[in-house]
Structure 1
């Protein structure tokens, strides 16, 4: 006996109704290159967290000195070498903000109570009684300014030099590459020493010294990209339409290299910060009363055993900035490089 529920009717074989207006509808929203890259960066949690930390550090570099009740260059020898002390956290002994120090024999004492000082220094003071909170953020501001200026100059010079060298080619390219090889062979430290001999120690000699030799890597990368693009169809079409060489380089080729340029610039910023800190640490950087993170580390190194916070705080700041910039650059490389796409 045939069950009516299991019978197959002819209605089941009727063709599906298709709406012609929706046949070519794209379900996923259309994204341009930068929107797609930002979507990929957001999937990299380390890069996003590093961006947030960098934004906070940059804001604090300008706002931090204003939050402190003490000026960064005001000396108060009666308050010298005081440890960090923050109001509201001084009773939390497992945090390093209770104003205590450890003697060489291991005894712990409260420096503020022993010296009868009723004040709060959030990052402590140095050997001249200057507030380290204000000096640390001003030093961060100076270090970031030097790094960004050096990276900007490296980008402008390196992109222009590399693009012209790769596009012209031939003997011109050979001569320009030999010049780069000569510049690469000059140690940065010698250039810095010469700049300081010619000019007074300060921010500008450091930026000039970093810029003299720092643009060569960018120039080589851009030259390689230009050599790759030079024979492609969009360049040949621009030549056919009568575009000038300058227009082809700066309006057609360089916009197609923005990803590579941004990545190399981001990687050059932490290198510039580290080199500036190294120069300041060996005494070739800024001079008092100006400060950078490198000069603060140099000052704290002298009294590292007795007052370790004077060196630890700026050292942690340098490490944090360098790690965050490297993680952001790594995330941008994964997002902007087509070969890294999943």
Structure 2
């Protein structure tokens, strides 16, 4: 006998009533590629913190010299080699802003009281009595300007050169790559020495020396991207519609490489800052009375044992800028890489 309770009726296969308006629902709002990348950057706490620090440093590089009553080039020899002293913090002895110095025998004394100085120098003064607060921010301004200009020129030359080389291919590409290999084989220091001998030391020779050999890495990266894109459908469609080679390169290919270009540019900025500081430290950079972070480190190095703050403050500034730029570049690389998508 068949158990009536186990009989399967046709009513059991009736479709469940579903509201069509709720059957399909998009979980996330529609976003462009750049909005999606920014959302990923915000998830990277180190990159966000580094962006905030860089924004503060860039603002202070322009505002800092204006909020102190002393000019970065003014010399007051009576106030030379004074330690940092900040009004309101001078009575907190565990902070290094009370104006004390340490003698060779280990005893401490207040340099401002001994020399009867009523002024306040937030970062102290150098051997010529110049305010280090104004000089550090002015040096940061100059170093950032050199780095950004060098990175911008490297980007313009490298992107154009690499895109043309990769798109044309053949003998043209081979010849252009041999030129890059020759340039890469020339050490940067030799180029800088030659620029210093031919031109007077200054900002322009340093930027020129950085750009002579700095654009080659960008050119190689862009060339590789062009070789990958030039056989794809959107390029073939542009050719079929009669677009010129220049239009295909600069209107179709390069916009698809913005992520790679931005990342390489961000990585080149800290390298340029370090190289400028190195040149100034060995005496091939800016000359007095101009200031950069490298010249400040060079000046502080001469009195490092007796007055360590003169070298520590600009050195920390260089380290902070380089670390922040590298962290931002890492965050952008992860955000703009399609392989990192959730």
Q: Same fold (TM over 0.5)?
A: yes
1:252-267 to 2 correspondences below 5 Å: 252-267=252-267
Q: For 1:69 and 1:181, how far apart are their aligned partners in 2? A: 51
Structure 1 residue ranges without an equivalent (≥5): 1-10
Query: Which residue of structure 2 lines up, in the alignment, with residue 31 of structure 1?
Result: 31
Matched, 1:97 2:80: no
Q: For 1:64 and 1:258, how far apart are their aligned partners in 2? A: 33
Query: Which residue of structure 1 lines up, in the alignment, with residue 299 of structure 2?
Result: 299
Query: Aligned-pair distance for 1:12?
Result: 10
Query: Which residue of structure 2 lines up, in the alignment, with residue 190 of structure 1?
Result: 190
Q: For 1:232 and 1:14, how far apart are their aligned partners in 2? A: 49
Task: Determine helix, strand or coil for the equivalent of 2:248.
Answer: helix
Runs ≥4 residues deviating over 6 A: 11-14
Query: Which residue of structure 2 lines up, in the alignment, with residue 79 of structure 1?
Result: 79
Per-residue CA deviation, residues 147-201 of structure 1 (Å, 9 max, x unaligned), is: 0000000000000000000000000000000000000000001111111111111
Per-residue CA deviation, residues 279-313 of structure 1 (Å, 9 max, x unaligned), is: 00000010111100000000000000000000000
Q: For 1:44 and 1:114, how far apart are their aligned partners in 2? A: 50
Q: For 1:36 and 1:200, how far apart are their aligned partners in 2? A: 47
TM-score of the pair, normalised by structure 1: 0.95
Task: Determine helix, strand or coil for the equivalent of 1:96.
Answer: coil
Moved more, 41-50 or 11-20: 11-20
Query: Which residue of structure 2 lines up, in the alignment, with residue 118 of structure 1?
Result: 118
1:30-49 to 2 correspondences below 5 Å: 30-49=30-49
Q: For 2:257 and 2:296, how far apart are their aligned partners in 1? A: 38
Structure 2 residue ranges without an equivalent (≥5): 1-10
Query: Aligned-pair distance for 1:341?
Result: 2.7
Query: Which residue of structure 1 lines up, in the alignment, with residue 58 of structure 2?
Result: 58
Query: Aligned-pair distance for 1:15?
Result: 5.0
Task: Determine helix, strand or coil for the equivalent of 1:84.
Answer: coil
Query: Aligned-pair distance for 1:26?
Result: 1.7
Task: Determine helix, strand or coil for the equivalent of 2:109.
Answer: strand
Equivalent pairs counted in the alignment come to: 333
Per-residue CA deviation, residues 124-169 of structure 1 (Å, 9 max, x unaligned), is: 0000000000000000000000000000000000000000000000
Query: Which residue of structure 1 lines up, in the alignment, with residue 212 of structure 2?
Result: 212
Query: Which residue of structure 1 lines up, in the alignment, with residue 6 of structure 2?
Result: none
Query: Which residue of structure 2 lines up, in the alignment, with residue 174 of structure 1?
Result: 174
Query: Aligned-pair distance for 1:23?
Result: 3.5
Per-residue CA deviation, residues 188-220 of structure 1 (Å, 9 max, x unaligned), is: 011111111111110000000000000000000
Query: Which residue of structure 2 lines up, in the alignment, with residue 246 of structure 1?
Result: 246
Query: Which residue of structure 2 lines up, in the alignment, with residue 134 of structure 1?
Result: 134
Q: For 2:143 and 2:312, how far apart are their aligned partners in 1? A: 17
Query: Aligned-pair distance for 1:21?
Result: 3.6
Per-residue CA deviation, residues 202-250 of structure 1 (Å, 9 max, x unaligned), is: 0000000000000000000000000000110110111011110000000
Task: Determine helix, strand or coil for the equivalent of 2:106.
Answer: coil
Matched, 1:278 2:254: no
Q: For 2:328 and 2:203, how far apart are their aligned partners in 1? A: 26
- Over the aligned positions, Cα root-mean-square deviation in angstroms equals 1.4
Query: Which residue of structure 1 lines up, in the alignment, with residue 224 of structure 2?
Result: 224
Q: For 1:88 and 1:167, how far apart are their aligned partners in 2? A: 63
Query: Aligned-pair distance for 1:331?
Result: 0.4
Task: Determine helix, strand or coil for the equivalent of 1:101.
Answer: strand
Q: For 1:267 and 1:201, how far apart are their aligned partners in 2? A: 26
Query: Which residue of structure 1 lines up, in the alignment, with residue 324 of structure 2?
Result: 324
Task: Determine helix, strand or coil for the equivalent of 1:178.
Answer: helix
Task: Determine helix, strand or coil for the equivalent of 2:101.
Answer: strand
Q: For 2:179 and 2:202, how far apart are their aligned partners in 1? A: 28
Query: Which residue of structure 1 lines up, in the alignment, with residue 336 of structure 2?
Result: 336
Query: Aligned-pair distance for 1:18?
Result: 2.5
Query: Which residue of structure 2 lines up, in the alignment, with residue 310 of structure 1?
Result: 310
